[in-house]
Homo-oligomer: A and B are copies of this chain.
Amino acid sequence: MGSPVQRRITIKDVAEMAGVGVATVSRVLSGGSASAETRERVLDAATKLDYRPSALGRNLRQQRSGGIALLVPDITDSFYARLTDGVLSCARSYREPVTIGVTGDDPEQEADLVGALLEQSMDRVIAVPSGDGEMWAPALRAGLSVVFADRRVWRDPAPGQRRVLDEVPAVLADDRAGVRTAVEYLTGLGHRKIGFLARHGQSYRMEAFRAAVGDALDEELVAPARASRDSAYAAAAGLLQRRPDITAVLTGDNMLGEAAVLAARELDVRIPRDLSLVMFDDVPWAELCAPPLTVVAQPAQDIGYRAAELVMRQGRRPRTVTLPTQLIIRGSCGPRR
């Protein structure tokens, strides 16, 4: 019930009330030139009628719907939630709406979402890419401005695509340094058999781990998981059971860290006595955990904020931004026994 929905106030109404043409109203409202008197009359009419320009009309005319699209693997993951928060907080200052999609780290879903983006004529995208990134080629060709966050795309054999994808700006945490610092810390404590739990999509970290460990690398100690909690737990439990000689583990994100703690408890492996644990990404609960977790902190919110800044500054093509990580030592690591 209630009153019937009211007709929308259009620019035409404002023009009529102010006694000017619609073109003039448009110009005044978008900061074009106009005489002081006209400007005042138009502004007056606009406020009196409580006129709000329709984004629909503008978007169609300009052939692009404003706003920023954000594609993350999993909004439930604290890291991506914080990243999202950063994007939102920057977007707010530009008064741009943010449309969000979750990819589940699945290239197919990602391609789907990119298609939807094109349909919506979104022209600004921030994405955490999952696959080899080939689905981005048509989007780039269609004129979208894309910024990658947290990861770039997998190095890909196809040389043609690669160039265009390498031009996509990216905002990253300094994985390499973060992994190196963590590994050095662990080797400093005497650990030699260090395991690494990673998800697909964390290949950069996995590579950095291989580089940091160097000769001591035992491929069996690198355990990949898929994007779900169950898969994370399975990978963690599997690694600990397969290799009881392991004395330290680094996990590629907080979900895997959680899984490692649970699996260790289940298998009666005590942290840090039997196993030292370093987790990528500092989350609020790391401090509440028993024992408090030593972590490689990443500026998640900042990554999102910077990515949003980049995607808004269409003009100059900025290069990749790398933000520092920080090793925060708490209580989950001890000397090798």
Contacts and interface: CB of A to CB of B under 8 A. Distances in A.
Interface of A: 2-3, 5-6, 8, 52-57, 59-60, 63, 65, 67, 74-76, 78, 81-82, 84-85, 88, 95, 97-102, 115-116, 118-121, 140-143, 164, 229, 258, 261-262, 283-285, 287-291
Nearest to A95: B116
A97 B75 contact: no
A76 B75 contact: no
Contacts of A99: 67, 97-100
A179 B226 CA distance: 37
9 contacts: A52-B118, A59-B60, A60-B60, A65-B65, A84-B100, A88-B102, A97-B116, A98-B100, A258-B284
B102 A85 contact: yes
Tell me the number of copies of this protein: 2
Given A88-B101, A258-B284, 7 more contacts: A2-B141, A56-B121, A76-B81, A76-B82, A78-B81, A85-B102, A289-B289
B78 A76 contact: yes
Nearest to A109: B92
A316 to B, nearest CB: 15
Contacts of A142: 5-6
A84 B74 CA distance: 10
A59 B100 CA distance: 19
- List the 4 closest A-B pairs by CB distance, nearest first: A290-B290, A285-B285, A5-B143, A56-B60
Contacts of A5: 141-143
